[in-house]
Amino acid sequence: MLFIRSLIFNLLFMLATVVFSTLVVITRLFGFDAAWFWARTWSAFVFAALRIVCGIRLEVEGREHMPQTACLVMAKHQSAAETIAMPILVPPYVWILKRELFYIPFFGWALAVMGTIAIRRGNPREAIKQVIAQGTSFLHKGRWVVVFPEGTRSEPGKSGKYQPGGIVLAQKAGVGILPMAHNAGRCWPKRGFIKKPGVIRVRFLPYISPEEVKAAKRNDLLKRLQQDIETATAELGG
């Protein structure tokens, strides 16, 4: 039964991604807000399907920590679920991602037209310059920036090496950091076809103000963020 439910969901997910990505690309011609509406609708549809078909619910804690101005979100990365949830979790944002994702039909095209910071991993020095320049521009225009500091997905109970690029951007742009923990990998495993019933719990941790980010030593702040995010992730069962 778990296989059948997962199969039905995956088919719905692929169909919804094609349909809503197409709507994003088309409506982007009429402005960002029009396209963002469909991006959020796609996210909401996918999580409705997860709840109805797979018995997976989404719970969010810590919304009171979200600032009123654009900031950088540093999030744990375990599965595709947290990336899909982002449009219904935070205000309009951009991702820092690898350019190769643009080549994914429909979904990649939607990413391209919505605005992203697409880097080439082969040249780290140029990549960080691009992240700082484009990220600062987006943040100053009121768009949030979402960073997965581990760079790639880690299995529940494990942690990847946290990279300092997000902190560099926040310090250069003069913005705060909102840490985010979750346990999404328990229900939607890394590269997992089977979706397991349960609750995906997302927790926003206390906001770190621009003043505190600027005053902190980069390595000290990175260690603090990793400890806080990983501790909260473990508490959530992730």
Which residues pair with residue 57 across a beta bridge?
A: 199
Q: For residue 79, which of 187, 180, 3, 6 has the smallest C-alpha distance?
A: 187
* pLDDT given for residue 124 in this prediction: 77
* pLDDT given for residue 224 in this prediction: 97
Q: For residue 221, which of 182, 167, 179 has the smallest C-alpha distance?
A: 167
Q: For residue 80, which of 151, 228, 185 has the smallest C-alpha distance?
A: 185
Query: Cα separation of 77 and 238, whole Å?
Result: 10
* pLDDT given for residue 167 in this prediction: 96
C-alpha separations of 22 from 14, 17, 42, 206 in Å: 12, 8, 11, 36
Site of tokens 């473990």: 234
Which residue type does 13 have? F
Taking the chain (238 residues) in consecutive chunks of 10 residues, what is each chunk's mean pLDDT?
Answer: 96 98 98 97 98 98 97 96 97 89 92 89 81 96 96 92 94 98 96 94 98 97 98 96
* pLDDT given for residue 62 in this prediction: 98
* pLDDT given for residue 153 in this prediction: 92
Q: How many CA atoms lie within 13 A of 233 on its CB side?
A: 28
* pLDDT given for residue 96 in this prediction: 86
C-alpha separations of 103 from 63, 98, 106, 130 in Å: 34, 10, 9, 20
* pLDDT given for residue 223 in this prediction: 97
Phi-psi label, residue 100: left if phi above 0, alpha if psi -120 to 50, beta otherwise: alpha
Domain 57-235, CATH class in plain words: alpha beta
* pLDDT given for residue 91 in this prediction: 97
Q: Where are the domains of the chain?
A: 57-235
Site of tokens 């709507």: 23
Neighbours of 57 (CB within 10 A): 14
* pLDDT given for residue 99 in this prediction: 83
Q: What are phi and psi of 71, to 5 degrees?
A: -145, -175
- pTM of the full structure: 0.94
Angle at Cα 78 formed by Cα 75 and Cα 84, nearest 5°? 75
